[in-house]
Chain A
Amino acid sequence: MLLAEVEYVRPKTVDEAIGLLAAHDGARALAGGQTLVNVMKARAASPDVLVDLEDIEELRGVRDLGNGSVEIGAMTTCAQLIADEAAGARSILGEVASKIADVQVRNRGTIGGNVCSNDPTNHLPPLLVALDASFTIAGSGGERTVPAHEFFIGVYLTAAGPGELLTKITIPPGGQDGFTAVTIGMDGSAIVTAAASLNGGARIAIGCVDAVPVRARQMEERIGSDYSDATVRAAAEGLGATLDPPSDVHASADYRRRLAEVLAARAVIAARERR
C-alpha cells in the first residue's frame, strides 16, 4: 500500500523529539510502528510528520528498582520485556508480552506504542491499571507523572497530548499478579481481558469492555483480603451487570459480561497462586 505523503525525522534525544512534535501540527511519534504504519495504510490516521523515536537511547531499557518495582523506558520492545533480566523482576510483564501477536511484532512493538495507541483490545493497558503503574510524560513545559486511570482517556486517546511524549512507565513494588484473556485464536486479538494485582488488597482491571480499562471496584471491596476461590468467585458475581461492553461478530455484549466475571475471578486466583 502506498501511504499518504508524509515527512520524516529521526531525532537523537527526548528534547529534540518534543521540540519537533511541538513545532509541527499533525506530527506523531513513531515508536515500533506495528500499529501506526497499518493505521496510516488504512488512512485512519494521516500524520504530516513522523518523529521516529528509534535512535533515542534514553527511552530504552528496564531498571529494577527492587521489591518488584520496575521503570520501563517507553521504547522498550515486547521482546525485551520477555528477555530482559531487569524486567524479570516483575514476571507478569514478560508473561503478558509473550502473548501479544507474534515474534515479528514483539521484536518491533514497544510498551509505549502499545499504551499510547490505547486500542481497547490491547493487553497492556488493563495490566498496567491493575499494577497501579504511573506514566511519565515529557513536554515543552517539563515532565509530569500521571496515574494509569488518568492516562487512559478514551479509545485511541491518552493523557499524552500534542507536543508531548510518554517517556517511561513506573510500576510500584508488588508481584502477586495475574492476567487472563479469551482471544480469537491462540495469542490473537482479545475478546475480554482481566488483570489483577494483590498488594494489601486486590486491584482488578477489565479490558475490551469499554473505551478504557475498567476497574472492578465493587469486586475488589467484596474480596477485601480473602483470596479464597469461594470468596473471589462470589465477589465476581454481578460485575457483568455493571458493564456496557460492545457487541460484535466475535462476542455479544452479554457474552462479554459473562466473560468479565469469569476472567476477573481467574485473574485474582492466578495472582494468588503466583510464586
Chain B
Amino acid sequence: MDPVTSRRITVTVNGEKFEYDVDARRLLVHFLRDDLDLTGTHVGCDTGNCGACTIIYKGVLAKSCMLLAIQADGASIETVEGLSSDGELTKLQQAFSDHHALQCGYCTPGMLMSATALLRDNGAPTEEQIRKAIQGNICRCTGYVNIVEAIKAAAK
C-alpha cells in the first residue's frame, strides 16, 4: 500500500453514485460544490466553527470543510439538496419558512442538516436539546429564536 496524491473515489451522494478523480488535498466541501455542483452546502468560516458546510456523512453529522474528499471513498453522504423530493419541502423546511427561521439564509443548509439529524434521533426534543443540537451552527441574523421555534414545530 503506497501513499497517493490523487485517487479515483466512489461516493454516494443523496442516493446517487458518483466516481471522480480527486486530489488528496481537496476538501470534501469543494468536491461537493465544485465537482458535483451541489452548492447548497456552503463555505462560511472554513475553520470548522460556523457549521454552514454541515452534511450527514456515513449517517452522522459532520462538517465537510474538515474532511478530505479522498477520505469519502466508499462513503454515503446526504446534503441539503437531498432533503426534499419532487420539489416538495420537508416538514422541517416548511417550518423554517413558516416561522421566518432565516434572514440571509447562508447558515440555513447547515441548520437544516443539524435539525434533520436531531429529529431522526429524537422525535420530541426539548428546547435545550434543540439548542445543543444546533450549537455547531452559527447564525448571525436571527438570534436563533425562530430557528428553535421552527424545529419545535417540525417535531410536532
What are 5 contact pairs spanning A and B, CB under 8 A?
A10-B73, A50-B68, A102-B135, A104-B136, A105-B66
Known interface pairs A9-B2, A20-B3, A54-B71. Does A104 touch B25 (Cβ–Cβ under 8 Å)? no
A7 and B5 within 8 A (CB): yes
Residue total for A at the interface (Cβ-Cβ under 8 A): 36
B4 and A7 within 8 A (CB): yes
A104 and B4 within 8 A (CB): no
Known interface pairs A50-B24, A107-B62. Does A102 touch B71 (Cβ–Cβ under 8 Å)? no
Interface flag for A34 (CB, 8 Å): yes
Write the chain B residue with the least CB distance to A9. B3
- Leading 9 A-B pairs by shortest Cβ distance: A102-B136, A7-B3, A8-B24, A3-B25, A9-B3, A102-B135, A107-B60, A104-B136, A37-B66
Interface flag for A229 (CB, 8 Å): no
- Which B residues contact A (CB, under 8 angstroms)? 1-5, 7, 23-27, 46-48, 51, 54, 60-63, 65-68, 70-71, 73, 114, 117, 132-133, 135-137
A9 and B1 within 8 A (CB): yes
A1 and B1 within 8 A (CB): no
Min C-beta distance of B65 to chain A, whole Å = 8
Min C-beta distance of B44 to chain A, whole Å = 12
Write the chain A residue with the least CB distance to B73. A10
B66 and A34 within 8 A (CB): yes
> Which chain A residues numbered 198 to 213 have a C-beta less than 8 Å away from chain B?
none
> Which chain A residues numbered 8 to 45 have a C-beta less than 8 Å away from chain B?
8-11, 16, 20, 24, 27, 30, 33-34, 37-38, 41
Min C-beta distance of A56 to chain B, whole Å = 13
A104 and B1 within 8 A (CB): no
Complex interface: chain B residues within 8 A of A34 (CB): 48, 66
Known interface pairs A3-B25, A6-B25, A41-B47. Does A108 touch B66 (Cβ–Cβ under 8 Å)? yes
Complex interface: chain A residues within 8 A of B5 (CB): 5-8
How many residue pairs bridge A and B at CB < 8 Å?
96
Complex interface: chain B residues within 8 A of A41 (CB): 46-47
Q: In the bound complex, how far is the Cα of B132 from the Cα of A20, in angstroms?
A: 39
Write the chain A residue with the least CB distance to B53. A104
> Which chain A residues numbered 38 to 84 have a C-beta less than 8 Å away from chain B?
38, 41, 49-52, 54, 79
Min C-beta distance of A183 to chain B, whole Å = 12
B114 and A37 within 8 A (CB): no
A1 and B46 within 8 A (CB): yes
Complex interface: chain B residues within 8 A of A108 (CB): 62-63, 66-67
A105 and B47 within 8 A (CB): no
Interface flag for A230 (CB, 8 Å): no
Min C-beta distance of B34 to chain A, whole Å = 11
Q: Name the residue among A8, A11, A34, A187 with the largest chain B CB count within 10 angstroms.
A: A8
A8 and B68 within 8 A (CB): yes
B61 interface neighbour in A30, A33, A107, A186, Cβ under 8 Å: A107
Complex interface: chain A residues within 8 A of B114 (CB): 103-104
Q: A5-B23, A10-B73, A50-B68 are in contact. List 11 more A-B contacts (CB 8 A).
A: A7-B4, A8-B5, A8-B70, A30-B71, A33-B67, A33-B68, A37-B66, A41-B47, A50-B24, A104-B62, A108-B67
